[in-house]
Structure 1
Amino acid sequence: MLRKECMLQPTSWGIAYQGTLWAYRLSYKEATGYSPFQLVYGILPIEPFEFLHGSPKIAFMQEKKNCDVFQRIRALHKVEEIRLLATKQLIETQMKRKEAHDRHLWNNNIEANMLVLLHRPNIHNQLKGKWLPHWEGPYRVKTMLNWGAVELETLKGEALPLVNISRLKAYHQAN
């Protein structure tokens, strides 16, 4: 939507960009559990229509102007607490995503000296067409390295660059 609007009226992209940036900063992020605005300022943002029509948030903020130094220090500690909670939530979210990824990643039974096929979709899509098989090979597994890295070699013994085990599947010869 923004791109189309900017193309139709190229002189107004700055206005549309500001609105998009504001919307991004206010939106809740699933990974952290907070919006970027909350992580910076430690409070929920006051939206533009609240300035026009008034709201309890604005009344509270005007009342808060007269607060003492200790209240401001507590507010700063609250920002730090929110950031620590967001960091904890981010780590938990990343671990959940990694577990889900690894659940599917390590399900193959590939071992050293086994024949495998290598998945190379980009080469096939560019050169031959998207309906052709994306698997090349067979290749022989030379060694299994840490964290899913695998050394492959052709059947003639020529070495290939390291690949991730997720790009391999076992090769079964037809009878």
Structure 2
Amino acid sequence: MNAYENAKLYKERTKKWHDGRISNQTFFEGQQVLLFNARLRLFPGKLKSCWSGPFRIKTIFPHGAVKLTTEDGNNAFKVNGQRIKPYYGGDVDLHMETIDLGKQD
């Protein structure tokens, strides 16, 4: 009986910790988002990003489903809302600096 109570307490603490780390995200129609594609192995490679996009939210359905469209608005598809995250676009400064690590005399 003691082991049963300890297992129950452990599960309750683990659930509380897990639920505390989940962040609720709110999306709106027209927002740009990135899509997580873990199962699609179109471009294999360790350092390849798992996020594709940006896509635009067309419709938000109840229970977390979201309809996304491409930037040109031609293709539309439904995905689970847990597979998207907000896209904070903008111009990225790609300034690159090189440092010579060679032997100096």
Q: Same fold (TM over 0.5)?
A: yes
Code of the aligned partner of 1:100: D
Code of the aligned partner of 2:22: H
Code of the aligned partner of 2:81: I
Higher Cα Rg: structure 1 or 2? Answer: 1
Superposition TM-score, scaled by structure 1 size: 0.39
Separation of aligned partners in 2, 1:133 and 1:169: 14
- One of 100, 113, 122 as aligned partner of 2:19: 100
- One of 122, 126, 129 as aligned partner of 2:39: 122
Return the offset for 1:152.
0.7
Structure 2, unmatched stretches of 5+, are: 92-105
Superposition TM-score, scaled by structure 2 size: 0.61
Return the offset for 1:105.
4.9
Return the offset for 1:130.
2.5
Aligned to 1:43: none
Runs of 4+ in 1 over 2 A off after TM superposition: 27-30
Q: Secondary structure at the match of 1:147?
A: helix
Separation of aligned partners in 2, 1:118 and 1:143: 15
Separation of aligned partners in 2, 1:105 and 1:159: 27
Structure 1, unmatched stretches of 5+, are: 1-26, 34-91
Equivalences for 1:1-175 in 2 at 5 Å? 30=7, 33=8, 96=15, 100=19, 104-106=22-24, 108-124=25-41, 127-157=43-73, 158-160=75-77, 162-175=78-91
Aligned to 2:98: none
Higher strand share: 2
Separation of aligned partners in 1, 2:58 and 2:79: 12
> Given that residues 113 and 140 in structure 1 are in contact (C-alpha distance below 8 angstroms), is that contact kept between their aligned partners in structure 2?
yes
Higher helix share: 1
Q: Secondary structure at the match of 1:128?
A: coil
* Identical aligned residues as a percent: 32
Q: Secondary structure at the match of 1:123?
A: coil
